[in-house]
Amino acid sequence: MMNAAAFFLFGGFGLAFSAMAAFGRNMVGCAFSLVMAFFCFAGVYAALGAHLVAVLQIFVYAGAVMVLFVFVIMIIGSRRMTGAGAGQGRFVTGAGVLAAGAALVLLIKVFRGSAVGTGRVSGPFTADAVAAAGGNTRVLSELLFSEYALPFELVTAVLVAAAVCAVTLLIPKRERSGS
pLDDT tens, position by position, 115-155:
555 555 556 667 777 778 777 777 777 877 888 777 777 77
Q: How far is CA 58 from CA 47, 63, 93, 112, 167, in A?
A: 14, 6, 31, 29, 22
The DSSP secondary-structure symbol of 77 reads -
Compute and round to an integer the Cα radius of gyration of the chain. 19
Kindly list the domain boundaries of the chain, sorted by start residue.
2-176
- Residue pair 81/25 in contact (Cβ under 8 Å)? The answer is yes
Q: DSSP character for 171?
A: S
pTM over 0.75: no
Q: What is the CATH number of domain 2-176?
A: 1.20.120.1200
